[in-house]
Structure 1
Amino acid sequence: MKSTNSKKDNNVFKSRFFSELFVIPSIMWIILSILAMIDSMDSTDKLTIGELIMTDFVIILIWFVISILIIKVSFRLKKLFSKKNKDNDEVKIVENKKTIMKIEEYPHSRFVKNGMIILFIVTIVSLWLALASLFIVDEISPQHGFNFTKNMWICWCFLPIPILSIILGFKYKKVGFKCTKNIVGGFIIAFLLLVYGTFCLIPTFSANYDEIDKYRDIVDAELPSNGKLEIQNWGTYFDEDKTEYTIINAYYDKENVIDLVSSIENSNNWILSKDIKSVLRIFIPSTLYSDVDAYYSIYNKTTGQYNSLPDKAGDYEIYAMKYDVSDKHLEIHKFKYSYK
């Protein structure tokens, strides 16, 4: 009978530990992701059911592996802590009785026991809440491209929860409460939150928005006075025929772009993607071209002309520009091109 109970306790999938650690947080994440999909229905960047299923599958699969790891470590520690009494059943029984009496005599023992279970669940869920909060912060302070890591600092805000779980876990374990899972789960979640948070320290391509002044005349449109700027300098990018490659991204999520859009629509130097002549597409980088209706402008700085082919072969400095009205995103791809 004892052996059967032992096997049951160590069965990962039948343990209550598994449901607290994996099942409950997974259900909460699915609910949050469904709400996020519903919320995105009215936006241009709509989340499809296929994308939702794929994203949730990957995240839950990763969490499943982490959950199994936590449970295995917890079982191993539990076995390790009880090993010293394994050879003496009488001593073990006496120790268990003393522990039970000690717990029963402890003030508010039921409250402590239930509180530690709740704290463990909150500790596990804190990782999911941190990731969910990341989406909220991104709505307030949007990040794009390689700057997506800048808001990861939000993960550090949830560190007190697993740290509290660790501290109280050690405290009440000495009394006799079963708090191994609080300690193990706390350490793992704290480690993950700490690592995820450090992503915000990764250098990005962010630049002072004033740098856009160098390109105002070339853009030939009424640019907002504020925005977020990103400058990436590459030797070559995806297209090997384009060298000395620089990408300038300007984002206007929180800015009024009425004047910008109006000036682009009324400019002779900006044309819709569907109206671009096929011969000009050699100047549009593969990463810049899109089937979505967006405005394009191709400026040849060497000749000082817009949207036209050079009269003769040679090396030219090209500015391929795109403005996506729905995303409020201006891209400028600057490069050298050898026209033949």
Structure 2
Amino acid sequence: MSVQGPRALKPFKTFPEQLQVLRDRGLGIEDEPSALAALERIGYYRLSGYFYPLRKTKPVGESGRLDDFVDGATMDLVIQIADFDKKLRLLTLYAIETIEVSVRVAVAHHLGRVKPDAHRHPSLLDGRFTSTKRNGDPSDYDGWIEKFEQLCEKSKEDFIDHHNGNYGGQMPIWVAIEAWDFGLLSRFFTGLKFRDKNAIAANYGLADGEVLRSWLRTFNFVRNVAAHHSRLWNRVNTDIPVLPPLERCRWLEPLHKDQNSLRRLFGALTLMRFMMRAIKPDSTWHEQLKEHMGSFPKTDLVSLKAAGFPDEWQELPIWK
């Protein structure tokens, strides 16, 4: 059986040539200068994620979509969705930053009282995180420490220089944690002992630290999408977040009832809303988000249902 080699790369196309490809595939071009400006400002490849739900579906039984667009699809609509998504990313990053900073403080305060440099003491962490792998590979903690030290080496923060010069690079956890990115924070939280995870989760009205661990993974995924300016509005989470039992948290009942909402953006935003209620009760973030979601382009071709938003979601108790 012959094995085909890799396909040839697609040829370079100028912006006008890219626009012609879209026109040939049935995308309506109502304002050519605006369409060209969007290709120059955003780029064809980045826009392709916004083109996708406007392309025709393949015959039943085949996955994916055709190159041709559905009737009524226009470049103006694509630009509206892309611009909508840009502001959505900014609103989402605000909430994630608030959550990240709060969890940093909670972790550092909880472990710092045990040992100032708790992050340097594997005995304070879960054995599954600190133990060498069965195949002899280094532990997850070893990989975590290596990543932490790399971040410190690359950092230009004054507090890193201060502790290098005055303390031989030693830092208490409440200082060191400021050098962690969200991924490092999430991985460290995963490596905590159950009792410590539970104690930290209690700050947010959660009885189970494993629930918060799961949420941090979800928030980290969403943060990475948003921070890299990627399409966010109809993205599917890589991991389905864990929910507390319904009898312990009625706020999240809509997510218990709808797995599609849970694994899509609506689920992640609802969990952020839960956290924001605990961290900053007077925040108007949820009102800003509701207002922005109401600005989604009015069209029969796509809707917020693709992001997991149910009808009348603004009236759900958690969003009031």
TM surpasses 0.5: no
Which entry has the higher C-alpha Rg, 1 or 2? 1
Could you say which structure has the higher strand fraction?
1
